[in-house]
Amino acid sequence: MNTIDREIIEVCRHFGIEGEFHSAKSFTDGHINFTYLAKFVHKGRFRKYLVQGINTHVFKNPAHLMQNIVSVTDYLKDEIKKEGGDYKRETLTFLKADNGKYYLYHLGKCWRIYKFIDNSYTVNVIENKDVFERAGKSFGLFLNRLSGYPMDELHEIIPDFHNTPKRVEALEEAVKQDRAGRADLIPDEIAFALSRKDDANIALDLYSAGQIPLRVTHNDTKLNNILFDEKTGESICVIDLDTIMPGFSLYDFGDAIRFGANTTREDDDELDNVKLSLELFESYTRGFLSACAGSLTKAEVEQLAFSAKLMTYECGIRFLTDYLDGDVYFKTDYHEHNLVRARNQFRLVSEIEKNLDAMNEIVERIYTEYTA
Ligand code: ADP
Ligand code: GN1
Ligand code: MG
């Protein structure tokens, strides 16, 4: 048994997990937290849990974080029950620790545990466009199911998370500070980011003009934040709920396209692989609008295609800022990882710009189908 196993066992006991320890393996997929799948054998059956170390540099207030998540998943459970669904597979179930909370500081880290949903998988690169349509439907449904949730009760977990103008300001500040001494190496990337500065305000301006509403949004709608069912291939559950906060539907739509309709990984350094797939864009739009066309305002629908550019631009800026700061926010595997990610995102911005008219036509056509 290694040190990690021992650590995981100790943490699990604090969350009331019984049975004989079988194994713990790393299950991390994202750039922020670290996740383990822990298996125990109890009463002759495997019990599986996800044991997650919360990144407290990013999530500074775990109490607020877990209040949001537990209260939203409780709400979703009720909605799913009303629809006759299986709440144990369609939303996450968190465990309480022996301190009475849904998180625990132990061995110098902050932990939480939730139930593993068996016979499920995630997707990182799409091989079949139906998968993306199902993802769109799940995130559209997520938005709809939470439309009656008391938004004022949500904590703003990361202030100004998708405030694109503030992300631009943060980049400008990072250039000025140049903490890692890298600014001189990347004049083209900085110039690209600053040349699109005016786009950053569009969503917030529409909100100020009363044309798009605040909603309860997920804010991190990467394709790998959806579980699919191994038997049916259907999308079953939206996961990675850390950034649920009041936001715009445009954030959720745009971020999903940013990740899923890119014809390659977000950190592919071969920029000619980076394209916007109109076919995948159409699939996601179809799934998304099938679930929530009726509840979107005219301005939201009109900005869906643009939101893909906005969120890709914003994400590129965040990667570039972190590169300039010395890689303090996103996990990186090598020295230039954040720079490679930023270049990839900026190339995708250019590709989206070329395709924006076609994307708008797709949205209009599908929206008309669902609302005619
Ligand atoms: P992060 O993106 O921060 O690594 P996630 O919450 O997305 O964390 O979880 C990491 C991975 O664990 C997911 O991509 C998925 O493969 C798997 N996973 C997460 N929650 C569940 C669950 N309840 N059941 C089964 N697998 C899950
Ligand atoms: C992070 O944790 P993960 O990998 O799902 C980030 C998102 C970015 C994404 C880019 C809390 O998400 O905002 O869009 O990386 N999450 C946070 O891949 O910053
Ligand atoms: Mg994730």
CA distance 354 to 346: 13
Going by pLDDT thresholds of 50, 70 and 90, the confidence category of residue 312 is very high
Domain 3-118: CATH architecture, name and number where available: 2-Layer Sandwich (3.30)
Going by pLDDT thresholds of 50, 70 and 90, the confidence category of residue 1 is confident
Query: What is residue 28's predicted lDDT score, i.e. its pLDDT?
Result: 85
Mean pLDDT of 22-45: 95
95 in ligand 2 pocket by Cβ < 6 Å? no
CA distance 362 to 365: 5
Pairing of strands 245-247, 120-121: unpaired
CA distance 14 to 6: 13
What is the per-residue pLDDT across 255-276, written as a single tens digit (0 to 9) for each?
Answer: 999 999 999 999 999 999 999 9
Mean pLDDT of 72-98: 97
Q: Is the pLDDT of residue 338 over 90?
A: yes
Q: Is the pLDDT of residue 20 over 90?
A: yes
What is the per-residue pLDDT across 170-201, written as a single tens digit (0 to 9) for each?
Answer: 999 999 999 999 999 999 999 999 999 999 99
In the numeric block, the tokens 């459970």 are attached to: 77
**Mean pLDDT value across the chain:** 97
- Inter-axis angle of helices 249-260 and 278-292, to 10 degrees? 150
Which element (helix H / strand E) includes 138? helix 129-145
Fold of 129-371: Aminoglycoside 3'-phosphotransferase; Chain: A, domain 2 (3.90.1200)
Angle at 59 between CA 306 and CA 13, to 5 degrees: 130
Atom 17 of ligand 2, residue of closest alpha carbon: 32
Q: Is the pLDDT of residue 105 over 90?
A: yes
Pairing of strands 226-229, 120-121: antiparallel
Q: Whose CA is closest to 318, among 151, 123, 138, 163?
A: 163
CA distance 221 to 129: 17
**Every domain of the chain and the residues it spans:** 3-118, 129-371
Percent of the chain with pLDDT over 70: 100
Ligand 1 interacting residues, C-beta cut-off 6 A: 27-30, 32-33, 35, 50, 92, 114, 116-117, 120, 122, 224-225, 227, 239-240
Query: What is residue 77's predicted lDDT score, i.e. its pLDDT?
Result: 98
Mean pLDDT of 76-87: 96
Across 43-106, the runs of DSSP E, i.e. the strands, are 45-54, 104-106
Q: Is the pLDDT of residue 372 over 90?
A: no
Query: What is residue 127's predicted lDDT score, i.e. its pLDDT?
Result: 85
Going by pLDDT thresholds of 50, 70 and 90, the confidence category of residue 93 is very high
30 in ligand 2 pocket by Cβ < 6 Å? yes
Ligand 2 centroid to Cα of residue 108, in Å, is 23
Q: Which two tokens stand for residue 259?
A: 């990740």
CA distance 298 to 212: 8
85 in ligand 2 pocket by Cβ < 6 Å? no
Ligand 3 centroid to Cα of residue 37, in Å, is 14
Mean pLDDT of 141-162: 96
Pairing of strands 235-238, 226-229: antiparallel
In the numeric block, the tokens 């995708």 are attached to: 348
The reply to whether the predicted model has a pTM over 0.95 is yes
Helix/strand/coil for 216: strand
What is the per-residue pLDDT across 228-255, written as a single tens digit (0 to 9) for each?
Answer: 999 999 999 999 999 999 999 999 999 9
Q: Whose CA is closest to 6, among 44, 51, 45?
A: 51
Residues whose CB is less than 8 angstroms from the CB of residue 303 and which lie 6 or more positions away in sequence, other chains included:
202, 203, 206, 212, 250
Identify which ligand lies nearest to the alpha carbon of 329. 2
Q: Is the pLDDT of residue 46 over 90?
A: yes
133 in ligand 2 pocket by Cβ < 6 Å? no
Query: What is residue 316's predicted lDDT score, i.e. its pLDDT?
Result: 98
